[in-house]
Chains A and B, each alone.
Chain A
Amino acid sequence: MPKYLLADIGSTYTKLTAVDLGKGDIIGTARHYTTVNTDVRIGYEKAFALLAEKTHVMEYDKVFASSSAAGGLKMAAIGLVEELTVEAAKRVCLGAGGKVNLVYSHHITKKDAESIRDGDIDIVLLAGGTDGGNEDCVLYNARMLGEAGVKIPVVYAGNRACQDQIQAIFKEYNIRGWICDNVMPRLNVLNIESARKVIQSIFMNNITEAKGIKKIETEFAEGIVPTPYAVLKAAELLSRGYADETGLGEIVVIDIGGATTDFYSVCSGMPKQANVFVHGLEEPFAKRTVEGDLGMRYSAPGIIKNLSDETIKKYREQGIDLLREAEFRHSRPAFLPRDERDEYVDSVLAKLCVDIATSRHVGTFSTVYTPLGVMHYQTGKDLSEVKYIVGTGGVIIYDRHAYDILKSALYDAGKPTELRPRKPAFLLDGDYLTSAMGLLGRHHPEIALRIMKKRFRKIVGNDYESAK
């Protein structure tokens, strides 16, 4: 029976998952530190050897890989109006599995262009104007990138009417440029796919080399995709289902990492009640947001910056100095809890990550009193009827408080305007399979879906409670 190997070359761990397609199940998983500073092949081969000990399989029919090594796919997004093409450009970057490190609106300055040139950026996404709309801004910004001597790939996804002129500017300044469809062809209409495909093909063909993973790319059946994209695809598959295998419906996936917290929602997010007007840019059905300031280790201090003095004081009264704990974890990215207290502090930080990331992802609701009666405004996605919240990522799957952590995403009477999930069930991806199933799902969606439905464990309480 054919066997597939799915690899995720993360910034900390290289994780391998072996699947037997005949059995339609996992036959083993293994992980090893990613050796990105020397040669990623070493870590990959060590993980492979660990896996072989468990499975006694030495050869696979196909190997697929995703990667978030060396900071993942780092992008700069440029648009015109902040709520419109800038937001659309950001969503394209996030939907492609990237991280948006720099964001600019309107005309960029010389200094902005230099920050893009000298910053640690992999790809620039240049947008602005609806089709047939504003031309002056994108043309100006493309020239500014050229003048600054930007050498990294530039993807143009702005006003269609400017494509020829942009192409000419790319040529004039020797910019490695790509042209695709507008991210916002008409007002409030979002068009992700064209630019997403181009960004990912650039990632596969150009960027993986810079990340030191090109060397083992020949082992893989196809190009490496950014890990968050694989997770997004898995979430979409789990939600929608495939052929006769039904999906779970509206779901949320939360991945709390050391440096970021990723929040995925798969649902239309349209209003769940009458008299609601949806406002603003169209929302993607499968939406991802990344919080670069919320993480359990490297980004722990960022969590504290979001807290009020009262909250910090509340924890201090419990004997937890959040600021010190966060700094401690920031300087020790590989730290593992030593005792119950460490575990508890980790769970406090994780709850805060989930709470804040949820607030930033979900839509909001406001009431307007009009002469025709009470009406409501909705901006963003309504997640109130989401059926499942899936937890994944190292912190949550090894944490005994996983249930409490995921519960922090729920409706909160203190934040009445946020359209948070109200009564979901909770699932835990205890084997860390989500990104692997995203890779497998591209070729064998029915098997990937069945594995997720079988392996994701429903949790109804914390581990330490059920142990009692």
Chain B
Amino acid sequence: MESIVIGVIGADVHAVGNRIIEFTLENAGYNVVNVGVLSTQEDFINAAIESNAKMILVSSLYGHGEIDCRGMREKCIESGLKDIILYVGGNIVVGKQDFFEVEKRFKAMGFDRVFPPGTPIEAVLPLIKEDLMNHA
């Protein structure tokens, strides 16, 4: 069973969506390692190391995601997780910005996939499956 680390990054306490993601991924047959709300980059990375996860799925709903996610890929590389798949989704930037630009910025930061506000987790499932398959 593949392990996926999920959680809400930064000073963000939006717990409900995170719970829905956990529930949906578990039903889809994944071992979900939930680091919960108010989590730091290190919390995600440490959990991924111990659980041998191939994917980290970062949620952020309070607009500060861009600051919170900066340097995460570099930290993964430092921690021996250079190939780990990084997803991010939610209201990840301040205000209403052109999502195409936002996606570009997050991809430049090393995230493999970036999801706009309001993306249901069900819509992401096929991509998760595909990415994990290609990863192995």
Contact = CB atoms under 8 A, between A and B. Distances in A.
Nearest to A161: B52
Interface stretch (A6-14, A40-48, A129-137, A212-220): A129-137
B51 interface: yes
A133 B4 CA distance: 11
Contacts, number: 62
Nearest to A371: B62
B37 A133 contact: no
A187 B49 contact: no
Contacts of B24: none
Contact of A133 (B13, B43, B52, B62): B52
Given A132-B1, A135-B52, A187 B35 contact: yes
Contacts of A334: none
Contacts of A279: 38, 43
A80 interface: yes
B11 A375 contact: yes
A134 B52 contact: yes
Nearest to A377: B38
B12 interface: yes
B13 A375 contact: yes
B3 A277 contact: no
A375 B51 contact: no
A38 interface: no
B11 A133 contact: no
Interface string A83-95: 1110000000000
A467 interface: no
Q: Which of A132, A277, A369, A370 has the most CB of B within 10 A?
A: A370
Interface string A72-85: 00000000110111
A85 B62 CA distance: 32
Interface string B1-24: 101000000011100000000000
Nearest to A186: B33
A84 B62 contact: no
A370 B12 contact: yes
Given A84-B46, A277-B36, A372 B51 contact: no
A100 interface: no
A427 interface: no
A133 B51 CA distance: 4
B46 A83 contact: yes
Contact of A132 (B3, B34, B35, B63): B3
B59 to A, nearest CB: 14
Given A132-B1, A132-B3, A277-B36, A184 B50 contact: yes
Contacts of A80: 49-50
Contacts of B72: none
B52 A370 contact: no
B102 interface: no
Contacts of B52: 129, 132-135
B49 A370 contact: no
Contact of A187 (B33, B38, B63): B33
Contacts of A186: 33
B50 A81 contact: yes
A277 B46 contact: no
B80 to A, nearest CB: 8
A368 interface: yes
B15 to A, nearest CB: 9
Contacts of A368: 11, 38
Given A187-B35, A277-B13, A369-B11, A130 B50 contact: yes
Given A128-B50, A133-B53, A134-B51, 5 more contacts: A84-B47, A184-B50, A371-B62, A375-B11, A375-B38
Interface of B: 1, 3, 11-13, 31, 33-38, 42-43, 46-47, 49-53, 62-63
14 contacts: A83-B42, A84-B46, A84-B50, A132-B51, A133-B52, A184-B50, A187-B34, A187-B51, A277-B13, A277-B37, A369-B11, A370-B11, A370-B62, A375-B11
Q: Which 4 A-B pairs have the closest CB atoms?
A: A133-B51, A133-B52, A368-B11, A134-B52
